[in-house]
């Protein structure tokens, strides 16, 4: 009998196997719980340390050089730099003034995530004998949290990156210091920079200075809010699908997304994205681009083409032929957004430019291809990173959809498509669809063909630039933007095409815009259209911008049109 397995023995073996399986399952769950608990505790400690650091800064600088601080804080960036270059302002005092202002602002807005402790040393070491050669001399500059600064974390809202300080400055930071700027604070973002909202589980949500119950947009949320609140004159964000332009528009400030590799992205944590400036006036945006496009940038990053700032294009007085559109035919913007474009169009016409209607070719195809590109791995990389993390509520929907089995997601998408074709397409793409190399090559071929079509439409109209909506809505209540596909079209298109684009504030939402929503239907009559209408009904008094676009690597043309809009509306 010793070599036989009895029925009792089989049952015992099965029970033992089930017990081992259950024990392994419990062990895995316990490990995940333990890991998440540890990360949650680390996140809480970081937030507490930040609040203490901010309070120390406020106490240290509250009464120091009060009159001088007030004088400094009313200056624009160009005036402040000139005063510092001429020796009329001490860069250290300028730093302290803005450190105090930024820390005061974050008490209400929750926009600052870190104090750059080396900032004062940088200000002290500025060489006054070289001041005239440093275009940003003595200017305090804020940085999005994802831009690496030596000795500081760039968590991108993930606790696993706490206590992982950067070993070196990003190329951008090195060049800023070379130009005489003083990086002094880092600012908040949405978790993984994967949303137009403003929150993450470490630092919480940033709010809009114009309404503390509203979103400032994202993912460069802290930059938009801090600049708008006067806590910084110049900041830098990143833009993968609109993450500079969204907060610039929603906070009523200027923001610029350059062409790919016009500014180095070396030292950027997380999603690749164009690094660009955010400021309270157009002159500061131009000054920042002029300063950064220097030999040191080209030396430190060989992927950046050695193209200095093109003064001839920016300074030209030639009258331009500019296309415009108020609606791309995919997402109908709120009335206030359309009115902003018309204001810019009419202002440009009054100063002699020629404005012609422009039609976006096949906008639904553009969005399908752009989302297929973003989710080409089926969100798998993001799911792996989020495995032990607290997932911010703004990412929960995307995360859960991406976890659905492929066949189930296809079935749900097919059923949705019977009534809501636009939403069905987005729902399916969250999972990446077919992830084969063959499909990827097909998508690349389709993307190339679309870009050719868009370029040909531009050339057929002999355009220098285009002015168009910056977004489908103005700022609304917190979490109104967490469903990214609803609102990405007007910014994401120009990431997909790699066209430089910037935001100029032109107006605010008026009661007439709210009243006009009675006739708003959208193009599809689906829940996205209803959401746009509902959000817009609450946006009275919020800022409205316009987007100015040029062809790839003609960044200076985009900047020139931005400047023309600002001047024409002044």
Rounded Cα distance between 497 and 259, Å, is: 10
Mark whether 154 is an active-site residue.
no
pTM of the shown model: 0.94
Strand ordering across the sheet containing 354-357: 112-115, 182-187, 140-144, 234-239, 274-279, 254-257, 501-508, 543-549, 465-468, 321-324, 354-357
Rounded Cα distance between 118 and 354, Å, is: 50
> How many Cβ atoms sit within 10 Å of the Cβ of residue 299?
12
> Taking residues 542-549, what's their average pLDDT?
98
* Tens of pLDDT, residues 66-84: 889 899 999 999 999 999 9
Query: Which has the minimum average pLDDT: 151-160, 319-328, 408-417, 462-471?
Result: 408-417
Mark whether 407 is an active-site residue.
no
Mark whether 243 is an active-site residue.
yes
Q: Supply the pLDDT for residue 416.
A: 93
Residue with tokens 């050695």: 306
Residue with tokens 């415009």: 324
Rounded Cα distance between 284 and 268, Å, is: 23
Q: Supply the pLDDT for residue 482.
A: 86
Q: Supply the pLDDT for residue 67.
A: 85
Q: Label residue 217 left, alpha or beta by phi (over 0 means left) and psi (-120 to 50 means alpha).
A: left
> Taking residues 532-555, what's their average pLDDT?
98
Predicted confidence (pLDDT) at residue 563 exceeds the cutoff of 60: yes
Q: Label residue 164 left, alpha or beta by phi (over 0 means left) and psi (-120 to 50 means alpha).
A: beta
Task: At 448, give phi and psi (nearest 5°).
Answer: -60, -45
Task: At 215, give phi and psi (nearest 5°).
Answer: -75, 145
Rounded Cα distance between 328 and 78, Å, is: 37
Q: Supply the pLDDT for residue 3.
A: 46
- Would you call 544 exposed, middle or buried from its count of C-beta atoms within 10 A (0-12, 13-18, 19+)? buried
Q: Which of 199, 101, 182 lies closest to 142, judged by CA? A: 182
Token digits of residue 118: 């080396």
- Residue 4 confidence class, pLDDT cut points 50, 70, 90: very low
* Tens of pLDDT, residues 24-39: 555 556 556 677 788 8
| Residue-averaged pLDDT of the chain | 93
- Residue 1 confidence class, pLDDT cut points 50, 70, 90: very low
Q: Supply the pLDDT for residue 15.
A: 59
182, containing H or E segment: strand 182-187
Q: Supply the pLDDT for residue 430.
A: 73
Contact of 509 with 542, CB cutoff 8 Å: yes
**Peptide bond preceding 219 in cis form (omega within 30 of 0):** yes
Predicted confidence (pLDDT) at residue 157 exceeds the cutoff of 60: yes
Q: Supply the pLDDT for residue 409.
A: 86
CA dihedral for 18, 22, 23, 24, sign (positive or negative): positive
Give me the helices (H) in 331-405, please. 335-350, 363-374, 380-385, 393-403
Contact of 254 with 161, CB cutoff 8 Å: no
Catalytic residue among 219, 220, 426, 558: 219
> How many Cβ atoms sit within 10 Å of the Cβ of residue 87?
9
Q: How many residues does the chain have?
A: 570
Predicted confidence (pLDDT) at residue 2 exceeds the cutoff of 50: no
Question: Residue 205 pairs with which residues in a beta bridge?
Answer: 199
Q: Which of 375, 427, 382, 371 lies closest to 401, judged by CA? A: 427
* Tens of pLDDT, residues 126-138: 999 999 999 999 9
Predicted confidence (pLDDT) at residue 177 exceeds the cutoff of 80: yes
Q: Supply the pLDDT for residue 378.
A: 79
Catalytic residue among 101, 144, 269, 345: 144
Rounded Cα distance between 233 and 142, Å, is: 8
Task: At 323, give phi and psi (nearest 5°).
Answer: -80, 160
> Taking residues 4-25, what's their average pLDDT?
56
Catalytic residue among 104, 195, 221, 243: 243
* Tens of pLDDT, residues 491-516: 999 999 999 999 999 999 999 999 99
Token digits of residue 5: 């397995």
Predicted confidence (pLDDT) at residue 202 exceeds the cutoff of 50: yes
* Tens of pLDDT, residues 223-233: 999 999 999 99
DSSP string, 413-443: HHHHHTT-HHHHHHHHHTTTS---HHHHHHH
Q: Supply the pLDDT for residue 436.
A: 79
> Taking residues 443-464, what's their average pLDDT?
97
Q: Beta strand 465-468 with 543-549: parallel, antiparallel or unpaired? A: antiparallel
Domains of the chain: 65-308 (3.90.1300.10), 321-376+435-569 (3.90.1300.10)
* Tens of pLDDT, residues 58-68: 998 887 778 89
> Taking residues 551-562, what's their average pLDDT?
98
- Residue 465 confidence class, pLDDT cut points 50, 70, 90: very high
Contact of 250 with 224, CB cutoff 8 Å: yes
């Amino acid at each position: 009998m010793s070599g036989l397995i009895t029925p009792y023995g089989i049952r015992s073996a099965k029970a033992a196997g089930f017990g081992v399986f259950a024990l392994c399952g419990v062990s895995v769950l316990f490990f995940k719980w333990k890991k998440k608990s540890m990360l949650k505790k680390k996140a809480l400690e970081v937030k507490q340390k930040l609040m203490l650091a901010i309070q120390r800064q406020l106490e240290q600088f509250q009464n120091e050089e009060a009159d001088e601080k007030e004088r400094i804080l009313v200056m624009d960036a160009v005036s402040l730099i000139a005063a510092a270059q001429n020796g009329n302002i001490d860069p250290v005092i300028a730093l302290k003034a803005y450190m105090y202002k930024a820390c005061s602002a974050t008490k209400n807005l929750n926009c600052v995530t870190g104090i750059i402790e080396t900032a004062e040393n940088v200000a002290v070491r500025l060489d006054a004998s070289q001041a005239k050669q440093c275009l940003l001399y003595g200017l305090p500059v804020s940085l999005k949290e994802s831009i690496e600064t030596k000795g500081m974390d760039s968590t991108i809202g993930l606790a696993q990156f706490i206590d992982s300080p950067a070993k070196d400055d990003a190329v951008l930071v090195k060049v800023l210091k070379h130009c005489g700027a003083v990086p002094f604070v880092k600012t908040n973002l949405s978790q993984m920079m994967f949303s137009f909202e403003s929150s993450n589980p470490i630092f919480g949500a940033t709010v809009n200075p114009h309404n503390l119950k509203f979103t400032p947009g994202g993912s460069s949320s802290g930059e938009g809010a801090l600049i708008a609140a006067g806590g910084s004159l110049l900041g830098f964000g990143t833009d993968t699908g609109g993450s500079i332009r969204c907060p610039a528009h929603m906070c009523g400030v200027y923001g610029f997304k350059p062409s790919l590799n016009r500014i180095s992205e070396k030292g950027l944590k997380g999603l690749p994205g164009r690094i660009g400036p955010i400021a309270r006036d157009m002159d500061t945006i131009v000054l920042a681009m002029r300063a950064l496009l220097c030999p040191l940038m080209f030396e430190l990053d060989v992927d950046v083409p050695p193209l200095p700032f093109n003064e001839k294009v920016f300074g030209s007085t030639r009258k331009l032929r500019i296309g415009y559109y108020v609606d791309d035919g995919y997402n109908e913007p709120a009335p206030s957004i359309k009115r902003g474009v018309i204001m810019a169009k009419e202002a440009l016409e009054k100063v002699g430019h020629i404005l012609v209607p422009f039609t976006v070719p096949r906008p639904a195809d553009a969005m399908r291809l752009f989302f297929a590109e973003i989710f080409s791995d089926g969100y798998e990389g993001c799911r792996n990173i989020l495995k032990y993390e607290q997932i911010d509520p703004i990412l929960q929907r995307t995360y859960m959809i991406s976890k659905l089995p492929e066949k189930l997601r296809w079935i749900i998408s097919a059923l949705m498509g019977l009534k809501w074709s636009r939403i069905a397409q987005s729902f399916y793409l969250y999972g990446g669809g077919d992830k084969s190399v063959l499909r990827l090559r097909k998508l690349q071929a389709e993307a190339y063909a679309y870009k050719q079509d868009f370029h040909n439409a531009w050339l057929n109209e002999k355009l220098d630039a285009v002015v168009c909506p910056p977004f489908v809505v103005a700022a609304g209540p917190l979490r109104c933007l967490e469903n990214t596909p609803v609102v990405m079209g007007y910014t994401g298109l120009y990431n997909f095409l790699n066209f430089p684009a910037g935001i100029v504030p032109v107006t605010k939402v008026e009661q007439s815009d709210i009243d006009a929503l009675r006739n708003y239907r959208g193009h599809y009559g689906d829940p996205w259209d209803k959401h746009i209408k509902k959000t817009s009904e609450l946006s009275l008094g919020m800022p409205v911008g316009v987007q100015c676009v040029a062809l790839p690597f003609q960044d200076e043309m985009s900047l020139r049109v931005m400047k023309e809009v600002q001047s024409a509306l002044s």
